[in-house]
Amino acid sequence: MTAQDRREVHLVDAFTTEPFSGNPAGVVPDADGLEADQMQAIAAEMGASETVFVQETGDADRRLRYFTPEQEADLCGHATIAAYARLFDRAAVEAGTETVATGAGKVSVDVESDGTVWLDGAEPSVEAVDIDYDELAAALGLTETAFAGVGEDLPVARASTGMPFLIVPVNYFEQLGDVSPDLAAIEALAEAHDAAGIYAFTFDTLDRESTVHGRLFAPTLGVSEDPVTGTASGAVGAYLRRFSGVEGTEFRCEQGDFLDRSGRVRVRTANGVRVGGRAVTTLSGQIALPETADSEIIEA
């Protein structure tokens, strides 16, 4: 096997500075020349929820393509953070702003001198939705008392900064920990409201500097529970600016602690919505390139 038959590959934990926490993503920093079926096979071999492939392109600074083990995705927040954190670590990019082509269109990525990566979201969209609390309680395995009080001031809403989620406020951290999701019911609710999943949150946080603690259940995306989610955190930031009255233009979202994958996402809402965080590489190596589908065709 020649050197051309292999590519550099990394496993990078996003929204954390501690290995084996946050949300892991596969990163292939030099994916030029790879076919879609090769990228799909590499993503399946990596086994992370998403693997991101970095390519050169003529209409932006870079192109990023995202693959789950089963299919291509248009955009992935934690994989974008992971990719640019890795590129910055290896001095392939400098601190500054780049335009990135994705399946969801062009996005802006900013890297700070300390390695923090920021991803701009799409124009925020937030609207309250009418869902009975008994239906939510059944889907999340809680009683309706979990929503009492907080639900009088904050509605259940569909919020999006590129990917829509149902945002559900819960009273206390302990109740959030008691969630026992009925994934079929969550999927039905999400599909009924054209959302990717349910993000349940509480203002009862572990860290004093955090704004909310959240959990995301997205069976429509093939994810029972996601450790740490950039796009959902952006949606929550838009929700908080609309409904909560929380002062300031930067929020901090905790997620992943119930999965032993603690992560922290910064969300800025002064001009649009941006999500940011650090990332740490936990594994580096080379992967053999699979053959393309065309190369497997045998002519008689």
The residues annotated with a catalytic role in the active site are 50
Q: Could you tell me the CA-to-CA distances from 140 to 176, 282, 295 in Å, in that order?
A: 9, 33, 47
Angle among Cα 281, 43, 88 to the nearest 5 degrees reads 30
Show the tokens assigned to 20.
Answer: 């084996």
DSSP 95: S
Write out the two tokens for 285: 């190596």
In sequence order, which residues have a C-beta less than 8 Å from that of residue 58 and are 6 or more positions away? none
Alpha carbons 42 and 49: distance in angstroms, whole number: 12
Residue closest to 151 by CA, chosen among 125, 131, 173 = 131
Distances in Å between the alpha carbon of 233 and those of 53, 95, 198? 23, 23, 12
Does residue 42 contact residue 28 with C-beta atoms inside 8 Å?
Answer: yes
